[in-house]
A and B are shown apart, each in its own frame.
Chain A
Amino acid sequence: MAKTRIEATINGEPVEFLCEPRQSLLEVLRDVLNLTGTKEGCLTGDCGACSVILNGRLVCSCLVLGLEVAGATVETVEGLAAGTELVPLQQAFLQQAALQCGICTPGFLVAAKALLDSNPNPSETEIRYALAGNLCRCTGYDKIVRAVMDAAALMRQGQGRASSPMQGREA
């Protein structure tokens, strides 16, 4: 099948790529654009590892065709940090030890960003339901939820910067 040339904005940069109709956005990101931070976990929209923000909305990139993103904006985990400066969500995930194997982490970060973009002060329950589409098998979610709460607090205070690494949560 002939490939079509697609133009889109990915992580703030204009991007062009060639894509055949059956290629998903996930395949385009990973195999065509070499943005492998977005992960494949199930290809059925049930695990959230491939979460990206498409035109401001959180989606599973495995359930989007590459051709659908013509003219669209896409945000992936690679676009979260500004250069080498981690954003509060990334800092909070590190400080709260909210990752173990890390395979689900990009999807959680992107899903949490989508939540905090629209709700800067979510309750624990709101966080849990907002992250229901992201499976994590390592953490039991406890530290992930805490990290999102911490990041939200940091962002509300307008503090991007982390405190000292050692001041995590000593008992």
Chain B
Amino acid sequence: MHEFSYHAPTSVNEAINLLATHGAKARLLCGGTDLIIQMRAGTQQPSCVIDAKRISDLRRLSLDPATGLFLGAAVPCVEIYQNEAVASRYPGLVDAAKLIGSVQIRDRASVGGNLANGSPAADSVPALIALGAVARIAGPDRERTVPVEKFVVAPGRTVLKADELLVGMQIPLPPANASSAYLRFTPRNEMDIAVVGVGVAVKMSGEGCLEAQIALGAVGPTQIVAKEAATYLAGKRLDEATLEHAGRLAAQAATPIDDTRGTAEFRRHIVSVLTRRALLATAARLRPNHSGN
């Protein structure tokens, strides 16, 4: 591993000043479960590492009845799924937070880091997109917001400029009669990277779907919003034929490639299967006798 300097600022401003000094050679360290591996492999060679975990804004997890959830960029996954209030309102986010890596990884890795790493296979990102999350970004002059679906622009690349940092994600409070789910396919049962990930959020009225959001992971250079599938579902009963068709539309939106984790053909098929299953899982969560998440 190459040499670098280490800084542990305690405020966003302090971190922004460090970024201003070190520019593109600086990297933010949250859980380190991607960055440290990349530095060891030499694919990232920052000269300055900024540990974000002492910045209180980035460690904040707060649920506001009016504005919804603020999820600081450095909050580890474990703090999300151990928070019952969050778990009951954002089950799709919790599905993803519970799936990333192993206990060892989830005790360190943050959803913000998962997003900022820019991986098309990041588990939390389809869930965030389906829930309408917005990224809050701090820069030297101002803070700006970017919808999570626009945050990743290419594999490993995001909208973050060299002098900016991701403060966290703002996730609106889901309306009544709405729920969410994230499902992924991996060959192993745990400790694996999504070959396909599907995040859905649905607002229902009885057995009818009023509104749906569907986001796909690992089937394109960035996460993909399956708009046609979502539009198709609005106003439909979620019967088997509808779900099948929604799955097909989602699969059409995917632009997968062949790689060591799966073939394009396989991935496209799995998108349709997981879209159907995720919609069913979400609808099941809204049934009165549903227990747990």
Contact = CB atoms under 8 A, between A and B. Distances in A.
B37 to A, nearest CB: 5
A24 B36 contact: yes
Interface in B92-114: 101-105, 107-108
Contacts of A134: 102
B190 A132 contact: yes
Contacts of A63: 31-33, 36-37, 104-105, 108
B196 interface: no
A126 to B, nearest CB: 11
A132 B102 contact: yes
Interface stretch (B2-10, B143-151, B209-217, B237-245): B2-10
Given A68-B51, A132-B103, A133-B101, 7 more contacts: A22-B2, A22-B3, A45-B101, A48-B102, A57-B76, A59-B104, A64-B108
A67 interface: yes
B50 to A, nearest CB: 11
8 contacts: A43-B40, A45-B102, A60-B108, A63-B32, A63-B104, A63-B108, A64-B36, A68-B8
A43 B41 CA distance: 10
B194 interface: no
Contacts of B8: 67-68
B246 interface: no
B191 A59 contact: no
A57 B32 contact: no
A44 interface: yes
Nearest to A135: B191
Given A45-B101, A65-B29, A133-B102, A58 B107 contact: yes
Given A21-B49, A45-B33, A68-B51, A130 B2 contact: no
Contacts of A111: 103-104
B43 interface: no
A133 B37 contact: no
A65 B6 CA distance: 9
B5 A1 contact: yes
Nearest to A115: B103
B5 A133 contact: no
B36 A65 contact: yes
A71 to B, nearest CB: 10
Contacts of A132: 102-103, 189-191
Interface of B: 1-6, 8, 29, 31-33, 36-37, 39-40, 49, 51, 53, 76, 78, 101-105, 107-108, 189-191
A63 B76 CA distance: 14
Contacts of B76: 57
A46 B32 contact: no
A45 B102 CA distance: 9
Contacts of B4: 1, 21-22
A127 B33 CA distance: 23
B78 A57 contact: yes
Given A22-B1, A46-B191, A60 B78 contact: no
A129 B190 contact: yes
A114 B1 contact: no
B246 to A, nearest CB: 30
B40 A21 contact: no
A114 B108 contact: no
Contacts of A133: 101-105, 190-191
A48 B33 CA distance: 13
A67 B32 CA distance: 13
Nearest to B37: A44
B262 to A, nearest CB: 19
B107 A57 contact: yes
B32 to A, nearest CB: 5
Given A45-B37, A63-B37, A65-B32, A114 B103 contact: yes
A95 interface: no
B6 A45 contact: no
Interface string A44-63: 11101001000001111011
Contact of B5 (A21, A44, A114): A21
A1, A22, A44, A111, most chain B CB atoms within 10 A: A22
